[in-house]
Amino acid sequence: MLIAMTRAVSPRIAECELTHLAREPINPGRARVQHRRYEELLAELGCELHHLPPEPELPDSVFVEDTAVVLDELAVITRPGAESRRAETASVAEALKPYRKLFHIQAPGTLDGGDVLRIGKTLYVGLSNRSNLEGIEQLQRIVIAFGYSINAVRLRDCLHLKSAVTQVAENTLLINRAWTDAAVFHDFQLIDAAISEPFSANALRIADSLIYPEAFTQTRKRLEAQGIKVRTVDVSELAKAEGGVTCCSLIFTAE
Ligand code: GLY
């Protein structure tokens, strides 16, 4: 069984953290409608939805990916790099407890789940404004016992590693080379995000399909040309809050 943990959009989403985007008005009602369609798509692709308790006072709480790294054998509760986001983790830890043994990133370490790209037994981790070296080293100490290795990756001009690169097929990654070092991923086939669509490297892979923002038509053509099945969703309001399609769920298998 594939579980997708999601959380409703906060009515305060317009007060979200922003790092690389200028603030513009966000319509919480429209964001909620888009988020519900995203959840429907998760269900259509076979996920069982687990709705986390709403956190109406926490503007970024819809972006649950940042609060935990869920692996087959364990889950690591993060310590988000933005102080305003740290209170998001308690309810996620509570919800994950029945499914996984939990470990925690401790101060002064910081880690956002959006910086962790798992491919097999390798965790590529963005060294970003949100995830510091101490956080990455703590993650390494936790996961090494379970056979995982860590590969820290430098970023520029983007929020998280998964803003710059995501897995879109077994051996294929979608990448914005302007934001990360493509040489790190030399073992993979790389599909480039269209230059006109810098935010288009964030795709959510569920089984053999992708959940993908409908705005990125040029990059979508490149994905489909490689035989990748793409299901699109309008996430334009969530994108104004610097969130992508991976950010809005925690996906993991359970018995
Ligand atoms: N607004 C998403 C984030 O900064 O974490």
Residues 6+ apart with CB under 8 A from 117: 123, 124, 125, 126, 161, 162, 165, 166, 167
Q: Is 247 a catalytic residue?
A: yes
Contact present, 213 and 171 (Cβ < 8 Å): no
Q: State how many domains the chain has.
A: 1
Domain extent, residue 244, equals 2-253
Structure tokens at 36: 């519900």
Nearest CA to ligand 1 atom 4: 17
Predicted pLDDT at 255: 87
Which residue out of 16, 47, 158, 247 is catalytically annotated?
247
Strand-pairing partners, residue 47, are 2
Which residue out of 16, 47, 158, 160 is catalytically annotated?
160
Q: Is 160 a catalytic residue?
A: yes
CATH of the domain at 117: 3.75.10.10
What is the pLDDT averaged over residues 99-122?
A: 98
Predicted pLDDT at 194: 98
- Residues framing ligand 1 (Cβ under 6 A): 16-17, 19, 60, 63, 82, 241-243
Q: What is the pLDDT of residues 189-244, one digit of tens each?
A: 999 999 999 999 999 999 999 999 999 999 999 999 999 999 999 999 999 999 99
Q: How far is the CA of 128 from the centre of ligand 1 (A)?
A: 13
